[in-house]
Amino acid sequence: MMPTPVPRQPLQRVLYVEDDASIRAVAVLALEKVGGLTVQACTGGQDAIARAAAFAPQLLLLDVMMPGMDGFTTLARLRELPGTADTPAVFMTAKVQPAESLRYKQAGALGVIAKPFDPMQLARLLRDLWQEQLS
């Protein structure tokens, strides 16, 4: 898979896909209120596909293990849409093993954020991954 393009703007708009309502609420709170980001929260892959074009995200933040459509499939489907074909992606998962990290990279992700996360640090982690692409 081709590497994702280099981000050039400060990170502001994040499309976030997570099926679990509890963790989704914490992450949205953290990203918006601590990080000052604009977040479009989606409950699953189909929801993300439906909302992506109108939101025009700069970054996709995807849970991996979701019912129905997992994070990898969701990313592949979003890659088929013109508006998100090249949008950088970050996976968020409770399962970060070395072998799995390779799979995330192969899927074209900027990186992986491990769950559980510290709500105070989530936006910083995301911006760090974004910034790494600039350097």
Partner 1 sequence: MSMAAFQEALARLRVDFIAQLPARMALAQQWMAEAQAAPGADGPLAELHRFAHTMAGTAGSFGFQPVTVQARELEHELARVRNLSDRSAGDLGRAATLLEQLAALVAHV
Nearer to partner 1, 38 or 133 (CB): 38
Instruction: Mark 44-83 with x for binding to partner 1 (rule: CB under 8 A) and - for no binding.
Output: ---------------------x-x----------------
Going through the chain in order, the beta strands assigned E by DSSP cover 13-17, 38-42, 59-63, 89-93, 109-114
For residues 81 and 73, is the Cβ–Cβ distance under 8 A? no
Phi, psi of 86 (to 5 degrees): -120, 10
Number of Cβ atoms within 10 Å of the Cβ of 89: 24
Instruction: Mark 83-112 with x for binding to partner 1 (rule: CB under 8 A) and - for no binding.
Output: ----------xxx-----------------
SS3 label, residue 22: helix
Length of the chain: 135
Among 33, 53, 86, 128, binds partner 1 (CB under 8 A): 33
Nearer to partner 1, 72 or 117 (CB): 117
Question: Please, what is the minimum distance in Å from the beta carbon of residue 68 to partner 1?
Answer: 11
The residues binding partner 1 (CB under 8 A) are: 20, 22-23, 25-26, 29, 33-34, 65, 67, 93-95, 115-119
